[in-house]
Structure 1
Amino acid sequence: MTTRLIDDSLFEGADPPRLVGARCTGCGTVVFPRQEACPRCSDGTMATHPLPVSGRVWSWTVQAFPPKPPYRPPAGGHQPYLVGYVDLGEVLVEARLTASRPDIRIGLPVRLATVPAFQDEDGTEVLTFAFGPDAEGRR
């Protein structure tokens, strides 16, 4: 099966992919996804900044209802999933979480992964980013 990343601008590299944000050259603020202007100082230039591949769950919830478009439900319809904020040190990233419901907790060490988001009309599986449990607990 053919696969592609949901949005190349979110990633650096493809094997394995790594999230990429931006850092302000003026005040050092890090953002994800990338943006053109600093939300804190508006003075610096935003430079590409690769993000760590591991972090910790900062907060989480269950996405029990289908999100608004451009969300595309899977073939079998929407199934609830975990979503939350992952603390990557310099920035919090909102992401899908692949931990099981009984195992999820604030502070859980997690690592970047890709998961299927939907299939294109031509059958290409489109992958998005998520974070799953990091057994080694690396930061």
Structure 2
Amino acid sequence: MTTRLIDDSLFDNAADGASLRLAGARCAGCGTVVFPRQDSCPRCSEGPMSAHVLPVSGRVWSWTLQAFPPKPPYRPPTGAHRPYHVGYVDLGEVLVEARLAVPRARIRIGLPVRLTTVPAYHDDDGTEVLTFAFRPEEEEER
């Protein structure tokens, strides 16, 4: 099966296929870190933004269950929408909103998590499109 990332610009090294890291940006003026990348600082609007690779591990800061399909441009997986966890992951310098590949019985605020990918949907040609997510830190990469 062919796979591709949902958006290469979200990742630091998406082109070479190495272990993925999220690509944020840091303001040269005030040090604010953002994700995804952007051209101007949301805090001071003065400093230039430079590429900043984010840590792969963090902790669940808050979470909820996405029980109903989001508004477009959301594309449900093959078969229909299935509820999933979504939340904020504290990566130290920035909170990242992400899917949480964590079973309901284990999810909690403060849970150590690690970057992974999960299927988002299939393109019309059958290509599986992957998005970033976080899984419990101690689980082995699948």
Matched with 1:12 is 12
CA displacement, residues 25-69 of structure 1 (integer Å, 9 cap, x when unaligned): 000000000111000000000000000000000000000110111
Q: 2:93 aligns with which of 90, 95, 119?
A: 90
> Is the partner of 1:61 in helix, strand or coil?
strand
- TM-score, scaled to structure 1: 0.96
Runs of 5+ unmatched residues, structure 1: none
Inter-partner Cα distance in structure 2 for 1:15 and 1:128: 15
Mapped pair 1:110 → 2:85: no
Runs of 5+ unmatched residues, structure 2: none
Report which stretch shifted further, 114-123 or 88-97: 114-123
Mapped pair 1:70 → 2:73: yes
Inter-partner Cα distance in structure 2 for 1:46 and 1:74: 35
Q: Which 4+ runs in 1 deviate beyond 3 A?
A: none
Mapped pair 1:101 → 2:104: yes
Q: One-letter code of the match for 1:80?
A: P
Matched with 1:2 is 2
Q: 2:136 aligns with which of 113, 127, 133?
A: 133
Inter-partner Cα distance in structure 2 for 1:50 and 1:24: 13
Inter-partner Cα distance in structure 2 for 1:2 and 1:135: 28
Q: How many residues align?
A: 136
> Is the partner of 1:9 in helix, strand or coil?
helix
- TM-score, scaled to structure 2: 0.94
Inter-partner Cα distance in structure 1 for 2:56 and 2:9: 16
Mapped pair 1:55 → 2:61: no
Inter-partner Cα distance in structure 1 for 2:104 and 2:41: 36
Mapped pair 1:119 → 2:104: no
Inter-partner Cα distance in structure 2 for 1:16 and 1:124: 20
